[in-house]
Amino acid sequence: MRRAFALAVAGSLALAGCVSAPPEESVTATPTGDVELITVGADETGAPTLEFDTDVDWTRVQTDVVWEGDGDALVDGQPLLLDLYGESLLDGAIVVDSYTGLARSFLLAPELLGDDLYELLLEQRVGARLLHVSPASSGGVDDEPPIALIIDVLPTRAAGMSADMPEDWPTVFLAEDGEPSVSIPESVERPAQTQVVTTIQGTGTQVREGSWVLANYVMVSWDGEVLDSSWPDERAPLEFEVGARTQIPALEDALIDQLQGSQVMILAPATQAYPDKGPVVLVVDILDVFTPEVE
């Protein structure tokens, strides 16, 4: 999946980050909105909720840090994974909600996020929750209402505890940004069937049949050649439905029962991966998991 996908979903952020200049203030009885008047809560699923007075005139861009992150500091140009929830400040209508699906992938760049959000995010760390308010846009083809937007900054790498590796398995080395590389000793036997081990143990949502998964991965041939990877900046994480058989069987089968935040290593025979490539090793970081409710 190319990161050009981010351009398509950036419209949801553009509503809150790329608006026209606020109109000139005039004498009015309507009170002027302040970000401190918005209450951020959570529903029974943990997704954010917003409470505010709709009889307010929102005339300027405002931001507030609901809580600080404790992960890596964000830097210009890096991949971003954001959970987004936004409502119209006129009537409470939902304008974006990734909590009912998977988080969204971006690059930390002003042309994708707008100058205001770009500058705000540059000051944050992974794990932060932000509240961003933008005034109504006007003068365009479609006027937009003022919007309150919750932004959760998620990890773009496995975020759990390192687990002990069994003997006679390939070794994973992690770059500073979390990108894995794989070394396969000659002593490691080629797999006759799919084998999987958890290298980093996450604590998030469990993957089940029918879950949608967002994952970063690298796939290496048995002689150590990188065959495919989602880690370059121009790529986006892999998004797929487990059980839909849109991916190789080894990948879909290995992720069942794994937890969000985990990293797993998969040894896949050619019959469960790519018959023309021989056995492969996959290292998969599970970034987000969403399982639709079955009625």
Ordered structural domains, the chain, with CATH:
5-154 (3.10.50.40), 161-290 (3.10.50.40)
Judged by DSSP in three states, 161 sits in strand
Question: What is the average per-residue pLDDT within 52-70?
Answer: 93
Confidence tier at 19 by pLDDT (50, 70, 90): very low
> Both tokens of residue 280?
């492969």
DSSP single-letter state for residue 249: H
The rounded percent of the chain whose pLDDT value lies above 70 is 88
Q: Quick one: pLDDT at residue 290?
A: 96
Q: Which DSSP category does 155 fall into? A: -
Q: DSSP 3-state assignment of 291?
A: coil
pTM: 0.87
In 3D, which of 62, 76, 225 has the Cα closest to residue 146? 62
The distance in angstroms from the start CA to the end CA of the chain is 30
> For the segment 115-134, what is each residue's pLDDT rounded down to a tens digit?
988 999 999 999 999 999 99
**Tokens representing residue 177 in the block:** 């940004």
